Amino acid sequence: MTTASIFLLPNGTFFVELIIFIVLVVIMGKKIIPPVTAALAERQERIRASLDAADQARADAAAADDERRAVLEEARQQAREVVAQANQTAEAVRVDFQTRGQAEYDRILGNAEEEVARARQRAVEEAASRLGEITMDVVERVIGRPVNAQAHNDLISEAVNALRVDATGGAPAGSGAHS
């Protein structure tokens, strides 16, 4: 009968396999695992650096966005101020031109009124000077004989003054009142 080998009892191959296993573990521990560990650590450090750079880029982008918004809001505010100032300037120019226009209108109207008053006065004076002559001509025609103008000078003066009073609006011509 053959004796069956018991698995739990070591035979000679077990020790050889054990020694080969230990040598392989030592070789792997000394030669293979350190470079793999270093490569893993380097990779982990690159990933961490990439994540830090991404966080920094995100923070920079957020800061740039905030700065852009602040600059945009400042530009909008300046634009509002420029528009408000332009509106104020336009209003001031409009009021100035309106004031100047009104002053020019008043000046032209005053000049026209003065010119009309002077023309009326000239017309009244011309009519008054001619009235004496016309009156004397009419009297001579009605009476049929020549009339001495010097003898009736007071009547002529009274008629001329009455004409002047009517033309100047009730003020006697000799008083110096003009409208």
Domain boundaries, the chain: 31-173
CA distance 173 to 161: 6
Amino acid at 166: D
DSSP state of 171: S
CA distance 51 to 59: 12
**The pLDDT of residue 179 is above 70:** no
Please, which pLDDT band fits residue 10 given cuts at 50, 70 and 90?
low
pLDDT at 172: 53
Quick one: what percent of the chain has pLDDT higher than 90? 53
CA 145 to chain centre: 86
Please, which pLDDT band fits residue 9 given cuts at 50, 70 and 90?
low
- Listed residue (169, 173, 178, 171) closest to 128, CA to CA: 173
CA distance 131 to 162: 11
In SS3 terms, 93-112 reads as HHHHHHHHHHHHHHHHHHHH
pLDDT at 127: 76
Q: Is pTM, for the whole model, over 0.85?
A: no
pLDDT at 121: 85
Please, which pLDDT band fits residue 137 given cuts at 50, 70 and 90?
confident
Q: In the predicted model, what is the mean pLDDT of residues 100-118?
A: 91
Question: What is the chain's mean pLDDT, rounded?
Answer: 83
